[in-house]
């Protein structure tokens, strides 16, 4: 059971994991996997299950059926096997590092910046989250 909504656990690929992010694109999942594996975490990625379909109402006589909804986008859930991991704590405790030696900032984590500017405090950053 989660301590709060920011510290959830789930089984991904039959392995109990702390959830990093849900419903992310394949590009975002690849970015997180590379960053977290560089920092020594074992990462699991699983496809997010599609949303449940709503029941279909029977059509009245002479009524035209609406077009089917577009298929939902393919998204992924990213988790790490360290059940104590919390991304917010890791970012603001300055525990994660980039491959070029900088500390991961909030703007870098959310991919608002391509280079982590760890010398600038997050409250002075120009990158709006």
The pLDDT tens digits for 93-110 are 999 999 998 999 888 999
Return the domain boundaries, the chain. 9-50+73-124
**19 neighbors 9 (Cβ within 8 angstroms):** yes
Instruction: Give the least confident one: 83-87, 102-106, 123-127.
Output: 123-127
Bigger pLDDT: 48 or 72? 48
Residue entry with tokens 């656990």: 9
> Sorting pLDDT into bands at 50, 70 and 90, what band is 126?
low
Residues 6+ apart with CB under 8 A from 54: none
Residues 6+ apart with CB under 8 A from 45: 12, 29, 33, 76, 77, 78, 79
User: What's the whole-number average pLDDT of the chain?
Assistant: 86
Predicted TM-score of the model (pTM): 0.79
């Amino acid at each position: 059971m989660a301590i709060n909504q920011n510290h959830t656990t789930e089984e991904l690929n039959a392995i109990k994991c702390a959830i990093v992010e849900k419903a992310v694109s394949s590009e975002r999942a690849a970015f997180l996997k590379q960053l977290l594996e560089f920092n020594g975490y074992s990462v699991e990625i699983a496809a997010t299950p599609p949303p449940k379909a709503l029941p279909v109402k029977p059509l009245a006589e002479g009524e035209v059926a609406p077009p089917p909804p577009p298929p939902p986008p393919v998204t992924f859930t990213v988790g790490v096997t360290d059940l104590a991991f919390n991304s917010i704590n890791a970012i603001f405790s300055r525990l994660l590092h980039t491959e070029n030696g900088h500390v991961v900032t909030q703007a870098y984590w959310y991919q608002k910046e391509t280079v982590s500017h760890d010398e600038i405090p997050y409250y002075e950053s120009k990158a709006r989250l």
